Structure formats: structure tokens, C-alpha cells
Amino acid sequence: MKIALSGASGNLGKVIRPELLRQGVELRSAGGHKCPKPFAANEDVMCGDLRDPLVVDRLLKGVDILLHFAGSSVEGPLAGIIDNNLTALAAIYEGVRRHHVKRVVFASSNHAIGMYPVDEKLDIHCAVRPDGFYGLSKVWGEALARMYWDKHGVETICIRIGSCIPKPTEVRHLSTWLSEDDLLRLLSCCITAEEVGFCIVWGVSDNSRTYWDNSAAERLGFHAQDNAEQYAAEITALASRTLTENPQYQGGSFALMNYTPPGERGKTSRSG
Ligand code: 15L
């Protein structure tokens, strides 16, 4: 089986590559401006702008599964998000069609639903509530994937990734953490599951304080083994020392960027 990975030089790409290569996967890893250095003999590397169909052709030739981890990964100016997360994604899905790639695993994000309050437990069918342009671009990506399944039979698993970092560093992560080992376990299920059609799952560990019901991922065979609670004492002590407030919205700080507090809504701004 040949797997392509976009976003290979990013934080998650660097976690994913060694494990796939260790498993003997024939991997094509793509970076953006710079080509990544191959980690092993079974890795071929490339780079380029994924809005360009010729670059997409190089990425997808002979590929069975694409792990799409490239694109803007944080909130930022709309123009860049449109280039990276909308235009490039559309070019990729057209390439997926041209090359008969069977399945895409799309790195979506919890920021597609980031405006939900933290005391609401969500299942995967909840309505979207993006917390910014970045979250909105992930909603668009999920809908694009849905369309390619309905119209062209291209399978996609969208993973709404929580906070995939080596260990939790703030109170919110006690709910949103996805350990790197659990990410690898989840990806392995996404690669080997039989027929998946189109589905969305949460990318989250088995956290006692999770916001999300992840039975959709369990249906793919995923059983998270890590729990952020093991860091709870450390994190709460840190939060009380630094007087950090508990998050209000599931998207944390993203939800509060360019945010109008309820008491100030509808008031004329000083410049207006
Ligand atoms: C994401 O989608 C971002 O890519 C990452 O940088 C984190 O901010 C993460 O979400 C999170 O919500 O913690």
C-alpha cells in the first residue's frame, strides 16, 4: 500500500512519518516550500504548492491513501487561509479523483465547533460552531469531503483534532488533549478500517474531562489509551500560580480572538 502524507514537515507530520516508516509503509512525504529530508529508504519526499495540479499529481501518483495534514493550522488573515485550506484542498480532491485515490484522512480541527461552551458535551453530529476563519475553513473542508463521497465515491475520514501535543500545558488540554501515541493509533485505524464512506471523528485521548463523545472513532476500531488526567494536579497548580482563567468556550483562546463580549455587542465603536 502506498500512502502520501502532506504537511510532512509540520509538528504532526514529524510524529507520523517515523511510525509509518517503521511499519514498512511505502510513504511519500510532501513539504511546502522545502522538501523534507527522507527518514528512511521507504520514504520518497517532495515539496511544492498544493494549489498547483502538477504538484498534486506528483503527490498522488500511485497512492492508495492520502493523509492530508498540510494547510494553515492556526487563526490568521483570511486570504492565506483561503489559499491553503480552501483552494489547495479543492485542488487536492480533484487530484484524488484523477488518481483514483481510495481514501483521504483529513486533519480537521476542534475549531470547527469551538464556540460551544465548555459545559456542553457533544457528539459528532452536533451542528458546527466555528470559532474563527480557521475553524470555518475546516467546516468547509469537511463539507468538501462529504461532496466528494456523495458525488464521486471518494472516502474521507475527517479527524477533528483536539490538542495534539506531547503533554497538556493548560487547563483546557485536560479536555482536548490527543496524545501523540493515540494519534498514531487512530491513524492506524483510519488506514486499515474496511469501508468508511464519509465520516467525522474526534481526535482526542480518553480524557476524563473530555467535551466529546467519540463512539464514531470506536466504530473504526479506535480505543484511546492515554488520559490527560494524569497531568491534572500539575496543570491546575500551574494555572493557579499564573492566575490563568478556565476556558469559557471549547475552542479556548481561538474563540476569544477578535471577540465582542456580550455586554459590548451592538454598541457603536469609537471609530464608527
Ligand atoms: C488546532 O487546530 C491547531 O492546529 C493547534 O495549533 C491547536 O491550537 C489546537 O487546535 C488546539 O485547539 O489546541
Looking up residue 171, the CATH number of its domain turns out to be 3.40.50.720
Tell me whether strands 155-161 and 198-203 are parallel, antiparallel or unpaired.
parallel
Ligand 1 atom closest to Cα of residue 172: 13
Ligand 1 atom with least separation from CA of 135:
2
Which whole number is the average pLDDT over 203-217?
98
Segment 210-231 shows an average pLDDT of: 98
The reply to whether 142 falls in a domain is yes
Q: Which residue of 12, 73, 164 sits with most ligand 1 atoms within 8 Å of its CB, as the best mutation to test the pocket?
A: 73
C-alpha cell at 201: 471523528
Tell me: pLDDT of 107 over 90.
yes
Q: Which pLDDT score, from 0 to 100, does residue 269 have?
A: 60
Cβ–Cβ < 8 Å for 195, 119:
no
148 is catalytic: no
Q: Candidates 81, 84, 109: which one to mutate for ligand 1, based on the most atoms within 8 Å of Cβ?
A: 109
Question: With 0-12 CB in 10 A as exposed, 13-18 as middle and 19+ as buried, what is 238?
Answer: middle
Q: Is residue 50 part of a domain?
A: yes
Task: Show the beta-strand stretches assigned E in 166-237.
Answer: 177-178, 198-203
Separation of alpha carbons 254 and 89, rounded Å: 22
Q: Which are the contacts of 120, defined by CB distance < 8 A and separation ≥ 6?
A: 211, 250
Residues whose CB falls within 8 Å of the CB of residue 269, separated by 6 or more in sequence, listed in order: none
Residue 242, all three cell numbers:
499564573
Residue nearest to atom 13 of ligand 1 (CA): 163
Rounded distance between C-alpha atoms, residue 126 and residue 128, angstroms: 6
Task: Find the mean pLDDT for residues 53-73.
Answer: 98
The per-residue pLDDT for 272 is 42
Cα-based torsion angle of the residue sequence 105, 6, 4, 189 in order, rounded to the nearest 10 degrees: -30
| Containing structural domain, residue 87 | 2-259
Question: 3-state DSSP: the chain helix, strand, coil percent, rounded to 5?
Answer: 40, 20, 45
More confident residue, 267 or 235: 235
Q: Which three cell numbers stand for residue 210?
A: 473530555
Summarize pLDDT for 74-85 with one digit per residue, the tens. 999 999 999 999
Q: Looking at residue 271, what is its pLDDT? A: 52
AA identity, residue 113: I
Q: pLDDT class for 270, splitting at 50, 70, 90?
A: low
Nearest to 25 by CA among 63, 57, 69, 55: 63
Number of domains in the chain: 1
- Ligand 1: residues with CB < 6 A are 73-74, 109-111, 161, 163, 176
Model pTM score: 0.97
Question: Does residue 269 lie within any of the structural domains?
Answer: no
Tell whether 35 is covered by a domain: yes
Q: Is residue 268 part of a domain?
A: no
pLDDT digits 0-9 by tens, 137-184: 999 999 999 999 999 999 999 999 999 999 999 999 999 999 999 999
Task: Using the atom order of ligand 1, give the atom closest to the CA of residue 114.
Answer: 12
pLDDT in tens, 14-25: 999 999 999 999
Report the C-alpha gap between 210 and 220 in whole angstroms: 19
Is 270 part of a structural domain of the chain?
no
Q: What is the mean pLDDT of the chain?
A: 97
The answer to the question of residue 266 being in a domain is: no
- Can you give the pLDDT at residue 267? 86
In this predicted structure, the answer to whether residue 58 has a pLDDT above a threshold of 80 is yes
Q: Which residues pair with 150 in a beta bridge?
A: none
Q: How far is the CA of 75 from the centre of ligand 1 (A)?
A: 9
- Index of the ligand 1 atom closest to the CA of residue 138: 2
User: 161 C-alpha to center of ligand 1: Å?
Assistant: 8
